[in-house]
Amino acid sequence: MTGVFGRSSVSSAAGPGSTTDLGHAASGAGQAGSGPDEDGPRVGVRVRVPATSANLGPGFDAYGLALGYYDDVEVTLRRRGLAVNVTGAEQVSDGEDNLVVRAIRATFDELGRPQPGLDVRCVNRIPHGRGLGSSAAAIVAGVAAAWALDPGAYLAAETGGSSSGAPAGLSSGADAFDRSGALRVATAIEGHPDNVAAALFGGFTAAWTGPDGVAVHRAEPVAELRPVAFVPSVRTSTSASRGRLPELLAHEDAAFSAGRAGLLALALTLPVSAPGGQNAPGGRSVAGNHGVPGNHGVPSNDGVPGDPTAAVAARARLLMAATEDRLHQPYRLPAVPESAALVERLRAAGVASVLSGSGPTVLALAVGGAQAATAVGVPAPGFAVLPLAVDRDGLRVISAGSR
């Protein structure tokens, strides 16, 4: 399918596994839009979207990590009108400019489907304006819900015409959900693919835009990764944060961050062993080269016996180096001094830590339970501390059918 959003592609180093919903209750008052009530059967879909952390230090506008913290969105078709109910949100529109509604409308347009009435119910747990991908979650939820619904069939059935599918109003066959296509649509709305890619595919993602449009590669993060999010009460604007970035960078700084970004992808996804508690000969870290010919004699570490505790420590050291950055954090951290101080305290404790997205949330990439406990124990006044799982599924359709 082609359209105004262009084309996209996806590759994966590992299929998604299980996911953990922490079940945090939503808070705050609900908001409701207006629209004529209707009798008769309804058809709808409920989706769940994870929080995400973008950049992860040097992976600016490319890397994303899906986290086990979720927004739920339910969209039901109606003949006309709009009703929006939001729980747990801060100053979220209940009209057509609601981000979920905008994403639904844009997706219907892209798919050539008519614009029906909508009943939209959101349970927003992901804090807004904190660097945890709340806008990406809203967009991905709207795109996925619209993809799953067939308003043409629904409206035809409501007016007594013929329809296909059971029940009328759900997509099927060639119209079934396409994550690659959804990435294209969601990126066009969001403006950059890092958060939306992780929200759609789960795990660790690297996204980029090329001649054929936006693309993503997904990899499975190591099992021992234990993210901890430190969420302050203050908010930041992504656009304002981008305004602090310089137009030009020194070649030395660009090369520094490029090397760290490559190391980060390895440290998050490949085996790391330290036989006998030591690094590889010559002080080199061995990071899962799988014995590929042409590796200049560096052996694969897969299956090498060693102290598991030493391997965890080796990965933690790799992540400390891999999360160093000269692209964006040096320019953003001065605007959020409390977050900057927390990053320093966590790193002083040996826990690799970065701004989550543009901040002000701080993300600690702890390795193993002991280091996660260390991170949680670092003083963080003014921050809510959230030990999280890695979400390995991405967007999920929870239910679809008659309402």
Whether residue 342 is annotated as binding a ligand: the answer is no
Q: State the maximum Cα–Cα separation within the chain, in Å, rounded to a whole number.
A: 77
CA 47 to chain centre: 15
Whether residue 3 is annotated as binding a ligand: the answer is no
Whether residue 183 is annotated as binding a ligand: the answer is no
Contact between 311 and 274 (Cβ < 8 Å): yes
Burial of 335 by CB count in 10 Å (0-12 exposed, 13-18 middle, 19+ buried)?
middle
Whether residue 29 is annotated as binding a ligand: the answer is no
Whether residue 199 is annotated as binding a ligand: the answer is no
Whether residue 83 is annotated as binding a ligand: the answer is no
Alpha-carbon distance of 192 to 242, in angstroms, equals 12
Alpha-carbon distance of 360 to 354, in angstroms, equals 10
Nearest to 51 by CA among 72, 26, 28, 27: 72
Alpha-carbon distance of 186 to 103, in angstroms, equals 8
Looking up tokens 């299956």, which residue turns up?
303
3-state SS record for the chain = CCCCCCCEEEEECCCCCCCCCCCCCCCCCCEECCCCCCCCCCEEEEEEEEEEEEECCCEEEEEEEEEEEEEEEEEEEECCCEEEEEECCCCCCCCCCCHHHHHHHHHHHHHCCCCCEEEEEEECCCCCCCCCCHHHHHHHHHHHHHHHECHHHHHHHHCCCCCCCCCCCECCHHHCCCHHHHHHHHHHHHCCCHHHHHHHHCCEEEEEEECCEEEEEEECCCCCEEEEEEEECCCCCHHHHHCCCCCCCCHHHHHHHHHHHHHHHHHHHCCCCCHHHCCCHHHCCCCCCCCCCCCCCCCCCCCCCCCHHHHHHHHHHHHHHHCCCCCCHHHHHHHCHHHHHHHHHHHHCCCCEEECCCCCCEEEEEEHHHHHHHHHHCCCCCEEEEECCECCCCCEEEEEEEC
Whether residue 134 is annotated as binding a ligand: the answer is yes
Q: Give the residue ranges of the annotated binding site.
A: 127-137
Binding-site residues for ATP sit at 127-137
